[in-house]
């Protein structure tokens, strides 16, 4: 009997139960013998052992590893194909103390995301990239990747990759190391146990590089994809060792850790709530509600047709909110048409930090037309505000738990000089009803965003009329 115990235990950093599928709580979605599973384990162990689980943010784009967030018990962001390095940059800059890891396949990193990774590495962003090179697009069924080997058959190179037609396999590790920006890049392999142990060390070194603030690190894994290669797991691993390692030499491609130093600690950001906001408002105005003790959290959806000024209305709210010292976000969403397509935007005005710019449960809806009212009214939070450009709310949309104002705002705007000022009349109505913002930041935002004097004058009148038409205390239940 051996005098040691074999432990099958997961690193803390992996969830105990994977909730992706109710019937498969202990199983990942990876094929048997897939390299992603091994890389996940090595990465999870390193995160746990280095004690960084609570501050790790894993960025996974599209590819077979798209479900990484079901497995890693860390902060997770799932991003569009190829965009991991760009998102990782943003996250790291916004949260310098987080450990930010982008986890990317070769299709993702070396094809669609090649520009992102190149510039991220060149800027020396202090992030770590886990690059899983299986020489193929796995998730989409086996198309040729930039790293596909010469002669390798794929669905898009059925007779084998041909140098004269398709160029040479891209050596990402060497290519990025030729830049001065990166600090540490190593190519490792999952081709046998000895190499897996070396890969284990490389992940740790890459993460330690980031923890020490020394800049960009990347580990490239030569990784088996038995399913698409049409090999059994053992032969696929052998293929990594016997074939892939010949085309992609293993080893450290650059290690500048000894010559790099961490930049000075970033100064803590002044929180907007700590700014002397009262100085920024005329002293004659009453203290607006957002400066009172009450936390403020306006989640506003503005919706209508393109050309109705939907986005400008949202921008005015966000700009004015910013001037009033609030945390704000403005997220436009529109179709490809320049005119008459649907258009809407999400606006948040908060006294605290904003968790997400997406407003899926608004407490205010400004609907500039009927289709938008129909589309969004059900999502408004009970007690929320609805301002609707129409004589009355259609009976089948009625809700009795909302504060609703329905008026022919376009006609009102038309009587002032142009139906196009509809958005500003509605803004006035909303401000009057909600007290969301005081006058002076709104005037400042109007002056900045409305460039022509003629329109500025008209919009000022439209704002005033909108306020008058909806006195603060007046509202109806639809």
Interacting residues with ligand SF4 (CB under 6 A): 30-31, 34, 36, 64, 134, 138-139, 225-228
184-189/251-255 β-pairing: antiparallel
> Can you spell out the DSSP letters for 377-421?
GGGSPTT-EEEEESSS--GGG--SSSEEEEE-HHHHHHHHT-GGG
User: Residue of minimal CB distance from ligand TPP?
Assistant: 105
Region from 136-144, 236-244, 366-374, 409-417 binding ligand TPP, contact rule CB under 6 A:
136-144
Q: Give least dist CB 117 to ligand TPP, A.
A: 12
435: left (phi over 0), alpha (psi -120 to 50) or beta: left
- Determine the 3-state secondary structure of 189 from DSSP: strand
From the list ligand SF4, ligand TPP, none, pick the one residue 108 interacts with, judged by a Cβ distance below 5 to 8 Å according to partner type.
ligand TPP
Contact (CB, 8 A) for 233 and 43:
no
* Residue with Cβ nearer ligand SF4 (124 or 138): 138
Number of chain positions touching ligand TPP (CB under 6 A):
18
**Does residue 65 touch ligand TPP according to CB under 6 A?**
yes
Using CB under 6 A, pick the residue from 69, 137, 330, 376 that binds ligand TPP: 137
From the list ligand SF4, ligand TPP, none, pick the one residue 248 interacts with, judged by a Cβ distance below 5 to 8 Å according to partner type.
none
* Residue with Cβ nearer ligand TPP (76 or 140): 140
Contact (CB, 8 A) for 150 and 161:
yes
Region from 59-67, 248-256, 408-416, 454-462 binding ligand TPP, contact rule CB under 6 A:
59-67
From the list ligand SF4, ligand TPP, none, pick the one residue 30 interacts with, judged by a Cβ distance below 5 to 8 Å according to partner type.
ligand SF4
From the list ligand SF4, ligand TPP, none, pick the one residue 440 interacts with, judged by a Cβ distance below 5 to 8 Å according to partner type.
none
Measured CA to CA, the distance from residue 124 to residue 102 in angstroms comes to 14
- 41, with CB counted inside 10 A (0-12, 13-18, 19+), is middle
From the list ligand TPP, ligand SF4, none, pick the one residue 227 interacts with, judged by a Cβ distance below 5 to 8 Å according to partner type.
ligand SF4
Measured CA to CA, the distance from residue 471 to residue 273 in angstroms comes to 30
Q: Is the dihedral of CA 410, 412, 418, 423 positive or negative?
A: negative
Region from 14-22, 61-69, 231-239, 270-278 binding ligand TPP, contact rule CB under 6 A:
61-69
Measured CA to CA, the distance from residue 206 to residue 184 in angstroms comes to 7
Measured CA to CA, the distance from residue 373 to residue 301 in angstroms comes to 10
* Residue with Cβ nearer ligand SF4 (138 or 309): 138
**Does residue 107 touch ligand TPP according to CB under 6 A?**
yes
* Residue with Cβ nearer ligand TPP (48 or 140): 140
Helix or strand (DSSP H, E) at 222:
strand 217-222
Using CB under 6 A, pick the residue from 134, 344, 369, 389 that binds ligand TPP: 134
From the list ligand SF4, ligand TPP, none, pick the one residue 72 interacts with, judged by a Cβ distance below 5 to 8 Å according to partner type.
none
Measured CA to CA, the distance from residue 35 to residue 22 in angstroms comes to 24
- Determine the 3-state secondary structure of 57 from DSSP: strand
Give a three-class secondary structure readout of 324-385. CCCEEEEEEEECCCCCCCEEEEEEEEECCCCCCCCCCCCCEEEECCHHHHHHHHHHCCCCCE
Beta carbons within 10 angstroms of residue 64's beta carbon = 24
Region from 19-27, 137-145, 250-258, 361-369 binding ligand TPP, contact rule CB under 6 A:
137-145
Using CB under 6 A, pick the residue from 31, 77, 139, 150 that binds ligand TPP: 139
- Determine the 3-state secondary structure of 77 from DSSP: strand
Structure tokens at 70: 């079901």
From the list ligand SF4, ligand TPP, none, pick the one residue 145 interacts with, judged by a Cβ distance below 5 to 8 Å according to partner type.
ligand TPP
Using CB under 6 A, pick the residue from 106, 116, 125, 186 that binds ligand TPP: 106
* Residue with Cβ nearer ligand SF4 (137 or 376): 137
Q: Give least dist CB 66 to ligand TPP, A.
A: 7
* Residue with Cβ nearer ligand TPP (63 or 169): 63
From the list ligand SF4, ligand TPP, none, pick the one residue 328 interacts with, judged by a Cβ distance below 5 to 8 Å according to partner type.
none
* Residue with Cβ nearer ligand TPP (68 or 465): 68
Beta bridge partners, 105, equal 132
Listed residue (117, 101, 116) closest to 65, CA to CA? 101
Q: Give least dist CB 142 to ligand SF4, A.
A: 8
**Does residue 62 touch ligand TPP according to CB under 6 A?**
yes
Using CB under 6 A, pick the residue from 138, 146, 191, 288 that binds ligand TPP: 138
**Does residue 220 touch ligand TPP according to CB under 6 A?**
no
Listed residue (155, 157, 158) closest to 166, CA to CA? 157
- Determine the 3-state secondary structure of 206 from DSSP: helix
Beta carbons within 10 angstroms of residue 452's beta carbon = 9
* Residue with Cβ nearer ligand TPP (36 or 290): 36
The footprint of ligand TPP (CB under 6 A) covers: 62-65, 81, 105-108, 112, 132, 134, 136-140, 145
């Amino acid at each position: 009997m051996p005098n040691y115990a074999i432990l099958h235990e997961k690193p803390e950093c992996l969830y105990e139960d994977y909730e992706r599928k109710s019937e498969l709580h202990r199983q990942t979605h990876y094929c048997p013998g897939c390299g992603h599973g091994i890389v996940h384990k090595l990465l999870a162990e390193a995160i746990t052992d280095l004690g960084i689980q609570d501050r790790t943010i894993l960025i996974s784009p599209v590819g077979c590893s798209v479900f990484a967030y079901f497995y890693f018990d860390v902060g997770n962001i799932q991003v569009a194909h190829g965009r991991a390095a760009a998102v990782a940059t943003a996250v790291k800059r916004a949260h310098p103390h987080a450990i930010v890891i982008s986890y990317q396949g070769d299709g993702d990193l070396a094809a669609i995301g090649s520009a992102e990774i190149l510039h991220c590495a060149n800027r020396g962003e202090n992030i770590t990239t886990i690059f899983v090179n299986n020489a193929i697009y796995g998730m989409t069924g086996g198309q040729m990747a930039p790293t596909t080997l010469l002669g390798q058959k794929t669905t898009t190179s059925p007779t084998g990759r041909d140098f004269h037609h398709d160029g040479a396999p891209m050596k990402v590790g060497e290519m990025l190391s030729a830049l001065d920006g990166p600090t540490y890049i190593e190519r490792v392999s999952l081709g046998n146990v000895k190499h897996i142990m070396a890969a284990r060390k490389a992940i740790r070194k890459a993460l330690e590089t980031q923890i020490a603030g020394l800049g960009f690190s990347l580990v490239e894994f030569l990784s088996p994809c038995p399913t698409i290669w049409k090999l059994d797991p053992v032969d696929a691993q052998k293929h990594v060792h016997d074939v892939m390692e010949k085309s992609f030499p293993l080893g450290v491609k650059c290690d500048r850790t000894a010559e790099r130093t961490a930049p000075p600690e970033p100064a803590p950001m002044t929180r907007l709530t700590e700014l002397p906001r009262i100085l920024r408002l005329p002293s004659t105005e009453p203290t607006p509600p957002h400066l009172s003790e009450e936390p403020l959290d306006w989640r506003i959806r503005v919706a209508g047709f393109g050309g109705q000024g939907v986005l400008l209305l949202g921008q005015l709210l966000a700009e004015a909110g910013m001037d009033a010292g609030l945390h704000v976000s403005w997220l436009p969403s529109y179709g490809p048409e320049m005119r008459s397509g649907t258009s809407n935007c999400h606006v948040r005005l908060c006294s605290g930090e904003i968790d997400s710019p997406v407003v899926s449960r608004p407490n205010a809806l400004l609907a500039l037309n009927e289709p938008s009212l129909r589309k969004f009214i059900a999502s408004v939070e009970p007690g929320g505000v609805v301002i609707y450009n129409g004589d009355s709310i259609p009976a089948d949309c009625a809700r009795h738990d909302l504060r609703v104002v329905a008026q022919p705002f376009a006609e009102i705007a038309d009587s002032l000089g142009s139906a196009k000022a509809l958005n500003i009349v509605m803004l006035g109505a909303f401000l009057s009803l909600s007290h969301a913002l005081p006058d002076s930041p709104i005037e400042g935002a109007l002056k900045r965003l409305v460039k022509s004097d003629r329109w500025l004058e008209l919009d000022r009148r439209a704002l005033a009329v909108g306020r008058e038409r909806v006195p603060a205390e007046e509202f109806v239940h639809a």
